Amino acid sequence: MIVLKDLSKETNGHPLLDKVNLSIFSAEKVALVGRRHSGKSTLMRILCGYLRPTTGSVRVGNFDLGRQSSQARRLIGYVPTDPPLYPELTVEQYLVLCASLRGLKRSAAESVAEPCELAHVWTRLISSLPRGLAQQINLAQALLHNPNFLLIDDPFVDLDPAERTTVLGILQKFAPNKTLLLATHNLDLLPLLCNRVLILHEGRISFDGELKQLSHFDRLESAFLHYTPTQENAIESFDWSPET
């Protein structure tokens, strides 16, 4: 279980998150959506321990992320939007390195090769691989230690349809036994991965409920626009590019 209490984050006096309260239960599959700069990536980075909140607390499993950071982070697998890869290494070398940094043996790296569909490029340099395979490596490093919680930040950015289908299949393969929080702009994929939706708007949660609770809207984009109002509030005004 992940529990956030009165979580806020400010930068130079500007609020990025404003008193977010949230509970994500074991084995839940939760989508996190919002406009650009709504605070999604900030929230994900706080949850994985990369950023500290200005105020509030985060509990991951039985551990307080602020006071028991190392114990909490062992329960988390984090997939950032841009894979933090070493292009001069082979896929094998990179995943073995990631395993060793987590105190794991080589077998941990080998165990994710087939499920993440990397066996056929195992000895290839990462620099020679397309974006889709880089994202598969990114997923693999997050799964090495068999985490309880998967935090995935917009994994479909810049993927072609075939690459997106492959990444989606890998996520579907691992998701049943994990607690999943998926930040994405691909609203059409939500029913394939998640049954609960969080809509973040200007640093606050404007909707938190089951996906079926949005069924009275003609489409998910309409629900999204309803819960993230702007002056224009039109589909053409929405920026679908990844958050920075």
Query: Is residue 198 a contact partner of residue 4, using CB atoms and an 8 Å limit?
Result: no
**What is the predicted pLDDT for the residue at 37?**
87
3-state secondary structure of 76: strand
Reported as a single tens digit per residue, the pLDDT across 157-181 is 999 999 999 999 999 999 888 999 9
What domains are defined for the chain?
1-75+152-244 (3.40.50.300), 85-146 (no CATH)
Kindly report the pTM of this predicted structure. Answer: 0.89
**What is the predicted pLDDT for the residue at 232?**
58
* Res. 13 pLDDT band, cuts 50 70 90: confident
| Least confident window among 121-125, 182-186, 240-244 | 240-244
By CB atoms closer than 10 A (0-12, 13-18, 19+), residue 241 is exposed
Reported as a single tens digit per residue, the pLDDT across 39-79 is 999 999 999 999 999 999 999 999 999 999 999 999 999 99
Token couple for 224: 């999204």
